Amino acid sequence: MRGANYVLKRLAFAVVTIFVAITLNFVLFRAVPGDAVQSLRCRQCTIQFKAALREELGLDQSKWTQYRVYLVNLAHGDLGQSLRFQDSVWSELLPSIKNTMAMLALGTLFSIVFGVIVGVISAWRRGTIADKVGLWSGLVFYSMPPQWLGLMIVLYVAGAVGLPTSGIKDPTLGILGDASTWTLFVDRIRHMILPAATVGLVLYGEYALIVRSAMLETLGEDYALTARAKGLSNWATVWRHGLRNALLPIVTLVALSLGFIIGGFITVEYVFSYPGIGLQIVEAIDQRDFPILQGAFLLLALSVILLNLLADLLYFKLDPRITE
């Protein structure tokens, strides 16, 4: 019964948070002076054209009416219409989201695997050379601004390894004939490696430091000392008793990292000209395409809220004592 109450409270809190995020997303873009139509920059944007477009988008109505229409449209999955492309926001964002998720999934997988391994080894071999290497490498990469690390990779690594530094595919691929699926796949991976490596190295620092700290705390508990006293091997103590009981902070970090996948690493995508949601946001800011920005920020907020809800539910599964 206590577990059911915990789940219901988490669900109710997530629903309230989503409603607040939706409301703030509506208010913030209408709190700035003017509106999305007023900031349009184009030759055909006469006063009459802007007035007609403002009426078409419903911007001439009261804020309360706009808010009501906004909620109704969201309930039907309608995020609005892009001012640049005269197409739905969802159809413009979806390809960019797919590109970003593929790239960040690769970088996040790298960071989780190597971050957990290095963090565990550092805690297990505390005070040794392995610990110092893991600790300082984590601190160095964690402190690096992603855009600076991306620029260093473009300048000093890309040429050495022969990988592309911009775009998502080779513009000449398929010109002389149909390229095979495998060729297209390899080309896509080659374009994703450098931005994914940039993201992975930054996140690697977070995982290595958090896992090391959690493991040190766990290995100092009485049950870990008892396991060693009973003759359990170091390997079994670390993996069975240490890592399993250190999963809560790791789950938190994974949930927060995955929550920002929709938003992407804007600066990394900008450095590598990678056509993901981050580059889409930068272009929307430059073109004053407020519906695109509003839709992107809403999806980012929802992804963070829902993945934090997932983390809360995993907490209960991993450690039922949190309901006490």
Low-confidence ranges of the chain (pLDDT < 70): 1-3, 31-46, 49-50, 53-54, 56-60, 174-178, 221-224, 227-228, 231-236, 240-242, 258-264, 317-324
Q: What pLDDT, on a 0 to 100 scale, did the predictor assign at position 91? A: 84
* H-type alpha helices, 220-289: 222-229, 234-236, 244-245, 247-259, 266-271, 277-287
Q: Give pTM, 2 decimals.
A: 0.77
Instruction: Give the three-class secondary structure for 62.
Output: coil
Instruction: Give the three-class secondary structure for 152.
Output: helix
Q: What pLDDT, on a 0 to 100 scale, did the predictor assign at position 152? A: 92
Q: What pLDDT, on a 0 to 100 scale, did the predictor assign at position 194? A: 92
Give the whole-angstrom CA distance, residue 150 versus residue 265. 11
Architecture of 88-319 per CATH?
Orthogonal Bundle (1.10)
163, containing H or E segment: none
Tens digit of pLDDT for each residue in 4-24? Answer: 787 788 888 888 988 888 888
Amino acid identity at 232: L
Tens digit of pLDDT for each residue in 104-126? Answer: 888 888 888 898 888 888 888 88
* Max intra-chain CA distance, the chain: 84
Q: Report residue 193 as tokens.
A: 């490696």
Length of the chain as a residue count: 324
Q: What pLDDT, on a 0 to 100 scale, did the predictor assign at position 2? A: 65
Give the whole-angstrom CA distance, residue 151 versus residue 165. 10
Q: What are phi and psi of 81, to 5 degrees?
A: -125, 130
